[in-house]
Structures are given as structure tokens and as C-alpha cells.
Structure 1
Amino acid sequence: MSGISVAFGGVAALSDVSLTVEPGQVHGLIGPNGAGKTTLFNVACGLVRPSAGRITWRGEELRRLKPSQLSTLGIARTLQGVGLFGGLSVLENVMVGAHRHARAGFVSALLALPTADKDDKVLRERAHQALVELGAESYADRYPGSLPYPVQKRVALARALVADPDLLLLDEPASGLAEDEMHELGELIRALSSRMSVLLVEHHMDLVMKVCDRITVLDSGEQIAAGTPAEVQADPKVTEAYLGDEVVETDAAELARTDGGRHV
């Protein structure tokens, strides 16, 4: 995304913000409340149309991007909440995310043709494997409303991963998680970078600093810093706007043993 600007009712929500997620990279997007993180995330998802700027994917500009285009482009996303369908089982919820891999068309499914049956079996297998990866396979037959919130978050993430995207957009995936669950999430995100890129919007700074290769910082709709976790932590503008002295002083030894968020 380059030169992105967004205004709501004459109020500037974003002003000339640029961000590039490289292949195999975990890119963090941080900033205080009202900084414009969610707006920029929604621009990337096609939910908000920028008043200025360009969105480019694999060298081609995406004009008038719509959320319905994401899966065919190889992009998957999660929401701040879980966004699960209460009337579907956990397995069925995850299967929804695998629809880009379906070969049978709507008519075949409607008429229950053999091709649709074969498709259903393949999608169920993909969904089950995604749940296994997230450690949630034991909940496959349950309904989301009966599950604890952290488990629902895992199911929502499995629904995004089952699409096998090239770019995964994560909006505050650590919200509502305990410390040990957050640690597991961090290990998962770092492992995912071997097969996809990740754009991570998150408030938990310890998680961001440990898993991200690069970080972009917003404040009041403007980009105030960008760089590696070490560079961002050392930036006085970031300290003043968001992190605070306490966070800047923590994990100094950890950062000394990392290179752009990767342990060495």
C-alpha cells in the first residue's frame, strides 16, 4: 500500500501512509487507539476505499478492491472478534474458509452430484488438518457458542489458514488470550512465515516485538516510524506516542539475540 489516505466526513483518518509486506515476512502494524490501524487494515481487506493511494499485489494494482476478491487473490484475514457462524459446527465453520479450493460449482452442490460429494470430502479433510494444526480438532463437532473465547479464536484462525493463503491478515489475534496462549500464538505466527506473509495488527507489544521482521507505527493517522523491532523500540517518537519507557527497556537482551524479530 503506497500513499494511502482516508477521510471520513472531512476528518482525516489516514494521511499518506505506505506499507509493504515482503514474501515470507511478518510485518507488524502498531499505534495507540485512534492511530488508524484498523482503517489501514480495512483498506487492505477492501472494506474501506482510500481517497488517495495505490494498493499493489504481486506487481499489479488492485483498483476498487472488494472483500469478496481476497480469497481468489490468495489473501485471508481474521477479524478483531471471531466472526464465526453460530449455526454451523466448528468443522463446518473452517470448511467455509476452504471454499477457494472447491472444484464443484454451485449447481453441482445444489443437485448433490458426485463431484460435489467428492469436493465436500476434500474440504472436510482440509478443515480437519487446519484444526489439528491449531490444536482444536477435539472441538470439530461442537458449536462456537459453547466454546471458551480463546478456543473460538483458534477456530477463526484455522478458518483463515485452511485457505492456504499467500498473505494472512491478522487483526488483534492475541486479544483475550492468556500469557501461555499468547506464547503459543507467537510460535505459530513465526512458523507460518515459512509458507506465507503475515500482516499483524496487535496491541500486545511483547508479541509484536518478538515475532515481527518489520514494524510500521501509526499515530493520529500518520506514519511516524518503520523498521526492525530494535529500530522501532529505539525511536523517540514511538516511545512518546505509544510504547512508553517501561516497554522500551524490556526485552533488551532478547532483542540483542534477534535479527529483525528472528532468533539467532
Structure 2
Amino acid sequence: MICFALLAHEDEGALRQQIKNIRKYNPKDAFIVFYNGGPDRDFGKKVCREENVLYCPYSKPLTQRSSGRFFYDVMRWLEERKIRYEYLVYLEYDIMFVGRGFREMLESRMKGYDCLLKFVKKETDPQKATWDPAKLMWAEWKDWRPFFHLDHFFRTSSPMSVYRHGIVRKMLAGINRGQIERLFRSTHIRCLGEMIYVTLAKKYGARCLDHRNSDLRYLRFRPELTLREVQDAKRRPDVMFVHPVKNRAVMKWIWEH
């Protein structure tokens, strides 16, 4: 069973359409947990009630500096509620599905693996760090090293990251809740979620698989995908999702097709 953890912060119409998009291309037993990262505390609640989507009560207003806690909040709430799933998938508002077969792909490709991620890189030397968020992690390493109990960390790209429930349990069991809450309050690290979860997973022995090259053309940070690229992606049977899609005209085309 797939659980989609969905982070969004504005535009309830787009949120409703994204939920319908997820459901159209995925099995009926897949379910969604919505996390409201915006300042409006009521955002998404009506949509969740009407679309039968779980609303994460730990939702908080997030910034780029604080968005790293989203996945942790969803993980621990699912565990506290004893909600069963096999795969936990990281979704944001600008991810859309364009083809079927996602569960079949997970079951086939993740045999023997705990995570499906993008570009996992090990960071071992602050002098060799080239990515700005990794430099920020090294700048705060005196605070984070006691949390990880490691002399290094890993980084990846969060959108469409997939973690098996088994490795999520190990990660949560090893987290000191008071310690991580203090770190979330004090950190100035951007893109924290792209380092903390893969590092914890690797710490507890996770076997991580990279997304296929065919996925990466349509799973990127920038620039946002054009309509022509999305149309090309939909014609390809090996492409199931696209990111980032932020243009309303492109979103509308996906919803209509």
C-alpha cells in the first residue's frame, strides 16, 4: 500500500485537482496524508473532508528554512496512529502524475531496497562541499553531529523520494524527539529535509536505489517543465510523474488529459 505525503500551502482548487490526479493514476488502496505548510490554518481542511484525505494535525506554517520537518511530522503521526502502509512517498504541490504503473514500478524496482531516491551523495569534507545547503549543514555540524552520531551526512532531492515503512520505523525509533525539536527551532539550514532523512536511513542500514535516467529528465529542480515537455512525458510509457509543474496552463492540460 502506498501513502503519499503531500505538502502544499495555497490554492485549494489546485490542491483538489492534484488529489484527483494522484488518485487517477494510482491504485484505489493508495491514500494521501495532507500537510498544510501555509499560514492559513484552515487551508485544505474542507478539501480533505470532501476528498477523503487524511489531514496531518501536526501541520505548521513552513518556510524554506523550516520545511524539513514536514516529512518527520507525517512519519510520526502515521506511526502514532498505527496506520499501515508499505511505501511512503514525498510529494509537493508541483508534482503531477501523467502515467500509470507507479505501484508496479515500486514493487519491481525496490525488491531488496529500502529507499528510492535521486542523486544520493555522501558529504565527508566541509572544504569540498559545493551545494549551499550542505555548506550550511557543515556550519552547524557541532549541533547536528550529536543527533546523527556520524562524522558525515548524505544528501538527495526530496520530490518523489520513497521510503519503505520498515526503514521509517527504524529512523523514528532512533530519533530523540526533544533533540530534533530543538534542532528544528534553531537551525538555519535550507533544504534540511534533503539531508536529514537520507542520512538517518543510511545510518540504519538502508539500501538506496537511484531513480532511473528516464525519470530524471522530468524530475528536476529547475527550470519548471514546459507544456511541450509535459506532453512529451505523457507520450512515454516509462514516465509516470513530472516535476516541477507550476504554470497553471500546464497544470490545466494535465488535468484535462
TM range, smaller chain: under 0.3
Identify which of structures 1 and 2 has the higher relative contact order when contacts are C-alpha pairs closer than 8 Å and 6+ apart: 1
**TM-score, structure 2 normalization:** 0.28
Larger strand proportion of the pair: 1
* TM-score w.r.t. length of structure 1: 0.27
